[in-house]
């Protein structure tokens, strides 16, 4: 029920519309129930099944007196109007009641439509924002396609299965209560008999509903796997084609898709069982009711017209009960999808959870970095039960200096870079900026101090201008152009058909690798960060692109604090300090010349690259 309470919380943002919709549903129910007692006296009086009531009771002290008084008023009205005229008025009144019933039913749907869509918008916004704030480690464990399925398919399932039946949940109980009230008024004993049958029906329907909820969760999980497999295949299409693995991938997808079909079929079997099962149980109840009630009519304990009105009232219970049970089935189905959304929303970012460190007063006033960054015996592992990928790292990155990390792949260089903007926190030890623990800085302020240019140029399906400006406000076109010139990007930008407004496609696939990388450098230049992190920014480029990018990087690095990671050692020869890493440890440190003279691991790396 926690998931359902979350939806009710969203509904609180639309109190006015919800209140109007509920009022319309109440009026719908009222005009539905009003039509029921009309029939009782007229079946008796118009067709002369009982004697007219010629005298009003002296006092109304009981339900029988109230019924006698109503019969007296009807008798007088028929005498004054005549039977045919009275029947005409009855038909007109019935027509008016059903007109108003359907009018308010439409108005309830009309006012609930923006509520349903608004709640889905709010839920999807919260889920998307929550995903953006989760730590990077979460996405290494979760499949991207599964998360895409939750923000699309699962959220839409909530709309179609839960919110789409809210009006039924609000409306049908009022109709059922009103009809039952009339039935109790007419014959409490007969109503008790019917109620016992309805309880049995409810137990049967409820049992199937629980199984439907479980099946819905399985179906949504398999749909997430399908989306994930599709996204994975599209991303690796070049490899699939080059290895001739189309048939292999198609076979795996077909197997997964067939499993989804099987689960979905079983789910639909159960869901579609709700309406015929409810109708059959309802008709069975009516048959038993006819048999039981007719005996009371034959025995003279109930008038025929009264019994017909009772049957009509019971019919008015069956249809709303069927709609309500169908709505309940859909709610159970939708709760399975909602719980999958809740699983993601329940995940917390450990970097934002208060700890003994984070509870200290936050520092940082946005001033320029003074002394730089210092690693203090830092160790790190990605999972609590995993192996250490960093061991006792002690490293200083002074202000205005360039520190480079070298070494074979898997040595821990990129992990060190990820610790600086707190994508992760050290497992042991700590890192300081100007002598203050990084965890003491507000995370947004801390990350604003860093500019990152990675090996993979991360760009978005947007214009060149928006990709350079990304995340910044109050930026003038002149500043954007200046940043592009520094990054050696202006010339190729103005050569494109739309200039700075040219759309670069998904992940910038309309540009070459060198052009994409220069755009990321322009983005870093415009940000004007205190500290730069360059993670193998030229390793995937051809010679000409590398030359242009290197020129841009040299301009970017002037008088700036930087941590540079490089496989091509020629790019870090001018660094103030080079730290050589192996298996998570710093095994050498010094300048390029010092390390060459030492003849250790760094020299071997240089000689291998020269060969």
Residue 353 lies inside a defined structural domain of this protein: no
Residue 235 sits in the same domain as residue 311: yes
Q: How confident is the model at residue 396 (pLDDT cuts 50, 70, 90)?
A: very high
Residue 137 sits in the same domain as residue 242: yes
Residue 231 confidence (pLDDT): 73
Residue 375 confidence (pLDDT): 93
Please tell me what DSSP assigns to residue 471. Answer: T
Query: What are the pLDDT digits (tens) for 257-316?
Result: 888 888 888 877 777 776 677 667 767 777 777 787 787 777 777 766 677 777 777 777
Residue 359 lies inside a defined structural domain of this protein: no
146-150, 152-156, 313-317, 442-446: range with lowest mean pLDDT? 313-317
State the DSSP string of 232-269.
HHHHTHHHHHHTT-HHHHHHHHHHHHHHHHHHHHHHHH
Residue 571 lies inside a defined structural domain of this protein: yes
Residue 400 confidence (pLDDT): 86
Residue 354 confidence (pLDDT): 46
Residue 438 sits in the same domain as residue 397: yes
307-321, 422-436, 560-574: range with lowest mean pLDDT? 307-321
Residue 58 confidence (pLDDT): 63
Highest mean pLDDT among 129-133, 155-159, 266-270, 490-494: 490-494
Residue 17 has pLDDT above 80, yes or no: yes
Residue 22 confidence (pLDDT): 85
Is the whole model's pTM more than 0.75, yes or no?
no
pLDDT cut 90: percent of the chain above it = 9
Residue 570 lies inside a defined structural domain of this protein: yes
Residue 50 has pLDDT above 50, yes or no: no
Residue 170 sits in the same domain as residue 302: yes
- The residue ranges of DSSP E strands in 295-448, in sequence order, are 372-380, 390-398, 402-406, 428-433, 436-437
Residue 73 sits in the same domain as residue 199: yes
Question: Using CB atoms within 10 A of its CB, is residue 407 exposed (0-12), middle (13-18) or buried (19+)?
Answer: buried
Residue 365 lies inside a defined structural domain of this protein: no
Residue 448 sits in the same domain as residue 398: yes
* Helix, strand, coil share of the chain (percent; to 5): 65, 10, 25
Please tell me what DSSP assigns to residue 158. Answer: H
Q: Is 417 helix (H, G, I), strand (E, B) or coil?
A: helix
Residue 380 confidence (pLDDT): 93
Query: What are the pLDDT digits (tens) for 64-91?
Result: 665 566 666 666 766 776 666 766 777 7
197-201, 317-321, 483-487: range with lowest mean pLDDT? 197-201
Residue 298 sits in the same domain as residue 426: no
Q: How confident is the model at residue 393 (pLDDT cuts 50, 70, 90)?
A: very high
State the DSSP string of 48-116.
TSS----S--SS--SHHHHHHHHHHHHHHHHHHH-HHHHHHHHHHHHHHHHHHHHHHHHHHHHHHHHHH
Which of 345, 380, 401 lies at the terminal end of a domain, its last residue?
345
Q: What is the CA radius of gyration of the chain?
A: 37
154-163, 558-567, 581-590: range with lowest mean pLDDT? 154-163
Residue 376 sits in the same domain as residue 334: no
Kindly state the average pLDDT of the residues 240-265.
81
126-140, 341-355, 589-603: range with lowest mean pLDDT? 341-355
Residue 553 lies inside a defined structural domain of this protein: yes
Residue 366 confidence (pLDDT): 54
Residue 426 confidence (pLDDT): 92
Residue 325 sits in the same domain as residue 380: no
Calculate the dihedral angle through the C-alpha atoms of 476, 482, 483, 486, rounding to the nearest 10 degrees: 180
Write down the mean pLDDT value for the chain: 78
Between CA 336 and CA 24 the distance in angstroms is 30
CATH value at residue 50: 1.20.1560.10
Range of the domain at 35: 2-345
Q: How confident is the model at residue 63 (pLDDT cuts 50, 70, 90)?
A: low
Residue 330 has pLDDT above 90, yes or no: no
Residue 335 lies inside a defined structural domain of this protein: yes
Residue 390 sits in the same domain as residue 243: no
Residue 216 confidence (pLDDT): 67
Residue 374 has pLDDT above 90, yes or no: yes
Q: How confident is the model at residue 391 (pLDDT cuts 50, 70, 90)?
A: very high
Which of 309, 328, 345 lies at the terminal end of a domain, its last residue?
345
Residue 428 confidence (pLDDT): 92
Residue 49 has pLDDT above 50, yes or no: no
Residue 390 has pLDDT above 80, yes or no: yes
Residue 355 has pLDDT above 60, yes or no: no
Considering only residues 549 and 226, tell me which one the structure prediction assigns the higher pLDDT. Answer: 226
Residue 419 confidence (pLDDT): 92
Number of domains within the chain: 2
Between CA 137 and CA 48 the distance in angstroms is 82
Between CA 571 and CA 406 the distance in angstroms is 11
Residue 355 lies inside a defined structural domain of this protein: no
Residue 411 has pLDDT above 80, yes or no: yes
Residue 377 confidence (pLDDT): 94
pLDDT cut 70: percent of the chain above it = 77
Q: Which helix (H) or strand (E) segment is 561 a member of?
A: strand 561-565
State the DSSP string of 562-610.
EEEE-SSGGGGTT-SEEEEEETTEEEEEE-HHHHHHHTSHHHHHHHHHH
Phi, psi for residue 115 in degrees, rounded to 5: -70, -50
Kindly state the average pLDDT of the residues 365-378.
79
Residue 553 sits in the same domain as residue 599: yes
Residue 546 has pLDDT above 70, yes or no: no
Highest mean pLDDT among 62-71, 155-164, 219-228, 505-514: 505-514
Residue 337 sits in the same domain as residue 461: no
CATH value at residue 513: 3.40.50.300
């Amino acid at each position: 029920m926690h998931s359902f309470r979350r939806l009710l919380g969203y509904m609180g943002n639309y109190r006015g519309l919800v209140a109007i919709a509920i009022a319309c549903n109440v009026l719908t129910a009222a005009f539905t129930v009003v039509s029921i007692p009309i029939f009782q006296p007229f079946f008796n009086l118009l067709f002369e099944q009982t004697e007219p009531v010629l005298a009003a009771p002296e006092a109304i002290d009981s339900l029988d007196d109230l019924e006698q008084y109503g019969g007296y008023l009807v008798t007088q009205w028929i005498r004054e109007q005549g039977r045919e005229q009275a029947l005409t008025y009855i038909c007109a009144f019935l027509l008016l009641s059903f007109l108003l019933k359907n009018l308010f039913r439409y108005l309830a749907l009309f006012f609930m439509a923006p509520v349903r869509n608004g709640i889905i918008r709010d839920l999807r916004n919260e889920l998307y924002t929550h995903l953006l704030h989760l730590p990077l480690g979460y996405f290494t464990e979760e499949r991207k396609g599964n998360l895409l399925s939750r923000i699309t398919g699962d959220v839409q399932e909530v709309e179609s299965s839960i919110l789409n039946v809210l009006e039924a949940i609000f409306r049908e109980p009022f109709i059922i209560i009103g009809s039952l009230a009339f039935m109790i008024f007419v014959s409490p004993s007969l109503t008790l008999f019917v109620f016992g049958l309805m309880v049995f029906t409810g137990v049967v329907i409820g049992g199937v509903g629980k199984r439907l909820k479980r099946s819905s969760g399985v179906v949504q999980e398999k749909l997430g796997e399908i989306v994930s497999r599709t996204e994975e295949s599209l991303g690796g299409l070049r490899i699939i084609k080059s290895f001739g693995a189309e048939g292999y991938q198609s076979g795996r997808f077909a197997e997964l898709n067939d499993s989804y079909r099987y689960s979905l079929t079983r789910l639909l079997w159960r869901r579609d069982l709700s309406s015929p099962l409810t109708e059959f149980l309802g008709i069975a109840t009516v048959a038993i009711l006819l048999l039981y009630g007719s005996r009371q009519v034959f025995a003279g304990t109930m008038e025929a017209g009264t019994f017909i009105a009772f049957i009509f009232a019971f019919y008015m219970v069956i249809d709303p009960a069927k709609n309500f049970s169908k709505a309940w089935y859909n709610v159970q189905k939708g709760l399975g999808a909602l719980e999958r959304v809740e699983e993601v929303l329940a995940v917390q970012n450990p970097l934002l959870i208060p700890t003994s460190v984070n509870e200290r007063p936050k520092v940082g006033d946005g001033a320029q970095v003074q002394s730089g960054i210092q690693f203090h015996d830092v160790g790190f592992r990605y999972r609590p039960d995993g192996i250490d990928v960093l061991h006792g790292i002690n490293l200083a990155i002074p202000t205005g200096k360039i520190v480079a990390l070298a070494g074979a792949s898997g040595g821990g260089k990129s992990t060190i870079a990820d610790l600086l903007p707190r994508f992760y926190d050290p497992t042991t030890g700590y890192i300081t900026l100007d002598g203050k623990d990084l965890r003491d800085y507000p995370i947004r302020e801390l990350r604003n101090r860093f500019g990152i240019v990675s090996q993979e140029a991360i760009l978005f399906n947007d214009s060149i201008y928006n990709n350079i400006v990304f995340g910044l406000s109050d930026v003038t076109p002149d500043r954007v152009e200046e940043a592009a010139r520094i990054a050696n990007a202006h010339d190729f930008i103005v050569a494109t058909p739309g200039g700075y407004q040219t759309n670069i496609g998904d992940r910038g696939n309309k540009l070459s690798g060198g052009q994409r990388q220069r755009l990321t450098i322009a983005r870093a230049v415009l940000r004007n960060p205190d500290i730069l992190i360059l993670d193998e920014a030229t390793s995937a480029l051809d010679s000409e692109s590398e030359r242009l990018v290197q020129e841009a990087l040299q301009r970017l690095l002037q008088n700036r604090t930087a941590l540079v990671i490089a496989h091509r050692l020629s790019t870090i020869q001018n660094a103030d300090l080079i730290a050589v890493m192996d298996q998570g440890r710093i095994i050498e440190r010094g300048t390029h010349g010092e390390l060459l003279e030492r003849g250790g691991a760094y020299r071997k790396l240089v000689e291998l690259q020269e060969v």
